[in-house]
Amino acid sequence: MPHAAKDPAAFIAADRAHVWHQLSQHQPFADKPPMIVAEGKGLRIKDIHGNEYLDATSGGVWCVNVGYGRDRIADAVCAQLKKMPYYAASVGNLPFIELAEMLAPHMPGLTRTYLSNSGSEANEKAYKMVRAMAHLTGNTSKKKILYRNRDYHGTTITALSSGGQYERRDWFGPFTPGFVEFPHACCYRCAFNKTYPGCDLDCARSVERIILAEGPETVGGLIVEPITAGGGIIPPVAEYYDVLAAICAKYGVLLILDEVVCGMGRTGTMFGYQHYGVAPDIVTMAKGVASAYMPIAITATTEAVFQAFVNDPSDKLAYFRDISTFGGCAACCTAAVENLKIIEEENLLQRVTEKGRSLKAALEELLSLPGVGDVRGKGLLCGVEFVEDKATKKPLAEAKVARIAAEAAGHGVLVGRANRSLPGMNNFITLAPAYVITQDDIERIVNTLRDTILKVLV
């Protein structure tokens, strides 16, 4: 039977019979039907029953940044698919060139755009660049890559090997060698039990001690999320990246900024690192590149990184021997070009800054409620951390946080939450609404949260 003729019950039956949902335990679907989305406009989506939700997550995982229902992107993609859908990215294509050219002025210092299809892949490209550079620069042992506790860089085995969210790694080892952890930068739970600014940024300075312990000649790269997203919405303090970048420069370590969540305006600047004035060597991005209208990811580099692969006089085959088949999707680039034009033409960075300020201020009013331990965020990337006890900061149990999110969904507001990510600390909800959010939407989200927190925690 064609799908259009199926009623919701038939869709649900087919979903139960054949679909394997990601990051989901299927057991509860037996008594509670799975959510099946059908359409969206702006921040609102409808399920197959016609129930409407205010989506404060931009598609569950901070993706649909310019909002649902952008005909302009769909139309441009359709036209490109008809004209020239694909050729491997070993050659150029017109939307790819347009995208790379448009992006360059938004990321001063970074000149090169390399394509793939997911955040994990974009990060793996960065790791491969670091490790290949060790050969090109004559120090073949300089291959270790440092990563930060609580950061996430993707789902493939090597991306997981560089992930500081250990519950996500359970069962999937053995992991790729050569990745070394350093402490997170969350002041609310300082890894050194210190208080800013008296701490002298021990969290950042500890990286130097780790590099020295590992041997600087063995460390080639360091990856961080500019603002940790799924690990708890953690914007480091203002001077953090100055310290980190200086350490990287001192030991010849390439600084990789994973902008998969923060990139393309989520925090009010085009890239999250731009709040901090650092100059990364490599930047990765994915989710917001085309607001998930099409799958596209980018590993952007400085000219120096690129030239290392060009200027080897001894070996003309010493280019970056890497390819992702779907990196050549011209229509994905078209979607990204339209997405970027929307951000520019609608002045969405300013909107993110203004609405983000207002969202954070409204969330901070929840701090007086029982169980609300901390509110953090930048732009339209915000989080609320829950505790059993404000004095001890004992994390609230994940099941209770899941109930808060479920209650909010029951009232038509979708919020994100930590999902078996950090052992014993899946105690926060996350908000990442589309950039077109209004003041009314903000009030609805925060009022719904207040009601659900009072219901679940009091």
Which residues bind to ligand PLP, rule: CB under 6 A? 61, 118-120, 123, 152-155, 225, 229-230, 258, 260-261, 286
The residues pairing with 375 across neighbouring beta strands, listed in sequence order, are 384
User: Cα–Cα distance between 290 and 296 in angstroms, integer?
Assistant: 7
Task: Provide the minimum distance between the beta carbon of 352 and ligand PLP in the complex, in angstroms, as a whole number.
Answer: 18
Q: Which string of b and e fits 361-372 if b means at least 16 CB within 10 Å?
A: ebbbebeeeebb
Task: Provide the minimum distance between the beta carbon of 396 and ligand PLP in the complex, in angstroms, as a whole number.
Answer: 22
Q: Which residues contact 204 (CB under 8 A, 6 or more apart)?
A: 185, 236, 240, 241, 243, 244, 247
Q: Are 123 and 284 in contact (CB under 8 A)?
A: yes
Q: Which is nearer to ligand PLP, 225 or 338 (CB)?
A: 225
Task: Provide the minimum distance between the beta carbon of 116 and ligand PLP in the complex, in angstroms, as a whole number.
Answer: 9
Q: Which is nearer to ligand PLP, 33 or 230 (CB)?
A: 230
Q: How far apart are the first and last CA of the chain?
A: 49
Q: Which is nearer to ligand PLP, 120 or 274 (CB)?
A: 120
Q: Which is nearer to ligand PLP, 230 or 395 (CB)?
A: 230
Copy the structure tokens of residue 307.
Answer: 């030239």
User: Cα–Cα distance between 451 and 154 in angstroms, integer?
Assistant: 34
Q: Which is nearer to ligand PLP, 227 or 349 (CB)?
A: 227
Task: Provide the minimum distance between the beta carbon of 25 and ligand PLP in the complex, in angstroms, as a whole number.
Answer: 19
Q: Which residues contact 64 (CB under 8 A, 6 or more apart)?
A: 40, 55, 58, 291, 292, 293, 434
Q: Which is nearer to ligand PLP, 285 or 396 (CB)?
A: 285
Q: Which is nearer to ligand PLP, 421 or 452 (CB)?
A: 421
Task: Provide the minimum distance between the beta carbon of 149 and ligand PLP in the complex, in angstroms, as a whole number.
Answer: 14
Q: Which is nearer to ligand PLP, 165 or 302 (CB)?
A: 165
The residues pairing with 300 across neighbouring beta strands, listed in sequence order, are 113, 283
User: Cα–Cα distance between 221 and 251 in angstroms, integer?
Assistant: 10
Q: Which is nearer to ligand PLP, 178 or 295 (CB)?
A: 295
Task: Provide the minimum distance between the beta carbon of 314 and ligand PLP in the complex, in angstroms, as a whole number.
Answer: 35
User: Cα–Cα distance between 134 and 124 in angstroms, integer?
Assistant: 16
Q: Which is nearer to ligand PLP, 61 or 331 (CB)?
A: 61
Helices assigned H by DSSP within 215-317: 240-250, 303-308
Nearest to 426 by CA among 457, 386, 381: 386
The residue of the chain with the least Cβ separation from ligand PLP equals 119
Secondary structure, 3-state, 333-388: HHHHHHHHHHHHHCCHHHHHHHHHHHHHHHHHHHHHCCCEEEEEEECCEEEEEEEE
Q: Which is nearer to ligand PLP, 114 or 251 (CB)?
A: 114
Task: Provide the minimum distance between the beta carbon of 320 and ligand PLP in the complex, in angstroms, as a whole number.
Answer: 20
Task: Provide the minimum distance between the beta carbon of 273 and ligand PLP in the complex, in angstroms, as a whole number.
Answer: 13
Helix (H) or strand (E) holding 124: helix 119-136
Q: Three-state DSSP class for 134?
A: helix
Task: Provide the minimum distance between the beta carbon of 198 and ligand PLP in the complex, in angstroms, as a whole number.
Answer: 30
Task: Provide the minimum distance between the beta carbon of 12 and ligand PLP in the complex, in angstroms, as a whole number.
Answer: 26
Amino acid occupying residue 34: P
> In terms of C-beta density within 10 A (0-12 exposed, 13-18 middle, 19 or more buried), how is residue 406 classed?
middle
Q: Are 291 and 375 in contact (CB under 8 A)?
A: no
Task: Provide the minimum distance between the beta carbon of 178 and ligand PLP in the complex, in angstroms, as a whole number.
Answer: 19
